Amino acid sequence: MQYDLTVDNITKNFDLFTAVDQVSFDIPSGSFFSILGPSGCGKTTLMRMIAGFETPTSGDIRIKGDSVVALPPNRRNVKMVFQHLALFPMMNVQENIAYGLRCRGAGKDEITRKVGEVLERIGLPDSANKEISQLSGGQKQRIAIARCMVLDPDVLLLDEPLGALDLKLREHMKIELKSLQHEFDTTFVYITHDQSEALVMSDNVAVMKDGRFEQVGSPQDLYHNPQTPFVAGFVGDSNRWSGKVKDVSNGIITATTESGLTLQSKSATGDTVSTGEEINIFVRPEAVQLHLGDEAAQLASAGSGLNHMPVTVESMLFNGANSRILVNTQSGERIEVDLPQRGEHTTLRNGDRIGISWAQSQSLCFRG
Amino acid sequence: MNHAQKRLAFLLLFAPFFLWILLLIVLPHIGVFILSVKEKVGMGVYEYGLGNYIEFFNEPVYWNTLLRTAVMSIFVTIVTLIIGFPIAYYIAKIARQRAKAGLFLLCLIPLWVSDLVRSFGWIVLLRETGIVSSFLQYIGIVSGPVEFLYNDATVVVGLVYTVMLFMIVPLVTTLDGMDDSLIEAGFNLGGSRLTVLRRIIIPYAMPGIISGCIVVFMLTAGSYLTPILLGGKNSQWFTEQIYEQFITRFNWESGAAFGVLLLIFTSITVWIGLRLSGQTLSSTVAKT
């Protein structure tokens, strides 16, 4: 397998603080790789080391197999789209894109041809002579990418470039970035704290916390099989309880939460858990089903394989397709549940008594 | 607040500025201009005419002095820019936040003493029996006392020292507003240090550079004490010429004409500078 970027056991210390702690990963050619983590987790430092703006304390970075740690930033074929894009305000679009080519010593004809080509590819063929201030947010984004892509980089780094855009445009740009990556067929490394950006666009996502990678995997993998409590809590939303194991049989763990709710779940990591251990249980709002009227009454006889309980509606959080409902169990636990907007739940009111259920396999537990 | 009150508030706030401009700038200049186009034809008899200006162009000493002043001022401006730019870059981009204020203060210190005291400071250092001369004799580099005063180099050094702050402040302000990622992007896209400086940092700082240059050039061309005290009789600064017409020769008409000429000449130089650099007054000095 050909790797465009290999990071080998890299560490960065600032005085006494360790920003990046022994991180290793490989990125196959032509894939979209995201590093997802909360602010301060070291993802920006990691990216700046790849670009050459920071020197690693130890470890190695290889691009297409060759170590680049000793190379200055301007000699690495890694280009970067900055958080605020860093388009040069005193140059127009054409000059911005031509800058890198001119640094490389390209001739006039070649520059004109390549700038024209790249503008065509990003769908802005007529904007060569526009000033940067005349562009919209989305256009600036595309010019910033074109400015890098015209140099045929081995790896393109993107440092939360969608952060400054408004919501609608951000949603649009997610799809556009993905299709640009296909178009250029270059390895993209995308840094973000926004899980939806990472999940939508990436082939692989690394979840980072306190300078270390918690888990690397496909978006589906991270979502369905989180390997640490942090990943389970950070990727997607979750209801979270801590409890004590009462019984383990056939891989099904029965545990009681602090307020006395009994839940059945399976171990997320495949580790065996023994009776009496402290565990954390995660259940996604979208895994929980609502049962109204007669259906709720029948839940008790629904049989095994399900967690089920009667609850009271506390409040509804309407947000279009992402609407949620907050319900309280009899023991006073609050659970967040997805509220599908297909019409069957329009009669729900605060204070209604309903039933909820979810499969045992949908509640994941981790050692506490 | 209703319309009339707003108007009143505006007038009251504007009045001091307006009076200052009118009484201290506009009226004196009109007076000087009227004076400059008067010619003395007899005892207490004056006629209007351009005689004073014609005299200026007919006498090479006069316009040579003006040209010399302009060339020296441009030279001082360039030297100030070359020395000031790295200092400003260090203050704006490299120094830590806390060190910035201290460094700024250091640049400000020369302005805490008056022009006169500052010039005498240079004299104490540079005269024949001064500190530098004595030191050089002491360590044996020269055998006799050396006179460092009264030459062009000393005038340039003294002027550069005096006006440095006025170059550094606008430069620091512009460079401070520059996002560091622009510089990083410059390197990331393959630029060498020189390319980044030439194609990104300097073009970005251009408004600050021009603004600093205009202020420094105006201050230098109009300065009087430093060239006189450090340059002595040889300094041949144009302001000295004006002073001589007014005070020594008591020829106010001619002095006034020289003043007007200095104003026109420096304005033209600034205008040419703006044209050459592709900047405008509103993009540099008046930038908010």
- The residue of chain B with its CA nearest to that of A149 is B189
* Partner-chain contact A74 B200, CB within 8 Å: no
* Partner-chain contact A80 B203, CB within 8 Å: no
The pLDDT of residue B152: 87
The pLDDT of residue A203: 93
Please identify every stretch of chain A with a pLDDT value under 50, giving residue numbers as ranges.
Answer: none
- Within 8 A by CB and 6+ apart from B139, the residues are none
What's the sign of the alpha-carbon dihedral A66, A70, A71, A72? positive
- The residue of chain B with its CA nearest to that of A144 is B185
Q: Give the tens place of pLDDT for each residue, B229-284.
A: 888 877 789 999 899 888 988 888 889 999 999 999 999 999 998 988 888 877 77
The pLDDT of residue B144: 82
**Which residues of chain B neighbour A53 with C-beta distances below 8 Å?**
184, 187
Q: Which of A79, A83, A91 sits opposite B188 (nearest CB)?
A: A79
Strand, helix or coil at B145? coil
**Which residues of chain B neighbour A191 with C-beta distances below 8 Å?**
none
> Environment class of residue B276 by beta-carbon count within 10 Å: exposed (0-12), middle (13-18) or buried (19+)?
exposed
Return the structure tokens found at B218. Answer: 């105006």
Mean pLDDT in chain B? 89
* Partner-chain contact B184 A79, CB within 8 Å: no
How far is the alpha carbon of A78 from chain B, nearest alpha carbon, in Å? 8
Q: Which of A86, A99, A103 sits opposite B181 (nearest CB)?
A: A86
Average pLDDT, integer, range B198-214: 93
How far is the alpha carbon of A210 from chain B, nearest alpha carbon, in Å? 24
Instruction: Fold for B66-283, please state it.
Output: MetI-like fold (1.10.3720)
Domain positions in chain A are 3-232, 239-367
* Partner-chain contact B181 A99, CB within 8 Å: no
3-state secondary structure chain A: CCEEEEEEEEEEEECCEEEEEEEEEEEECCCEEEEECCCCCCHHHHHHHHHCCCCCCEEEEEECCEECCCCCHHHCCEEEEECCECCCCCCEHHHHHHHHHHHCCCCHHHHHHHHHHHHHHCCCCCCCCCEHHHCCHHHHHHHHHHHHHCCCCCEEEEECCCCCCCHHHHHHHHHHHHHHHHHHCCEEEEEECCHHHHHHHCCEEEEEECCEEEEEECHHHHHHCCCCHHHHHHCCCCEEEEEEEEEEECCEEEEEECCCCEEEEEECCCCCCCCCCEEEEEECHHHCEEECCHHHHHHHHCCCCEEEEEEEEEEEECECECCEEEEEECCCCEEEEECCCCCCCCCCCCCCEEEEEEEHHHEEEEEC
Q: Which of A78, A86, A103 sits opposite B191 (nearest CB)?
A: A103
Average pLDDT, integer, range B123-144: 86
The pLDDT of residue A262: 85
The domain over range A3-232 is classified in CATH as 3.40.50.300: yes
C-alpha span between B228 and B223 (Å, rounded): 9
Q: Which of B179, B192, B199 sits opposite A99 (nearest CB)?
A: B199
Disruptive mutation site among B188, B196, B283 for chain A (greatest number of A CBs within 10 Å) = B188
> Does residue B179 sit at the A interface (CB-CB below 8 Å)?
yes
Q: Which of A74, A80, A90 sits opposite B191 (nearest CB)?
A: A74
Return the structure tokens found at B256. Answer: 């006034």
Side-chain half-sphere CA neighbours of B268 within 13 A: 8
Domain positions in chain B are 66-283
A3-232 matches A239-367 in fold: no
The pLDDT of residue A302: 61
* Partner-chain contact B190 A53, CB within 8 Å: no
C-alpha span between A153 and B215 (Å, rounded): 45
* Partner-chain contact B203 A90, CB within 8 Å: yes
Q: Regarding the domain with residue range A239-367, which homologous superfamily does it belong to in the CATH classification?
A: Nucleic acid-binding proteins (2.40.50.140)
Q: Which of B185, B191, B192 sits opposite A86 (nearest CB)?
A: B185
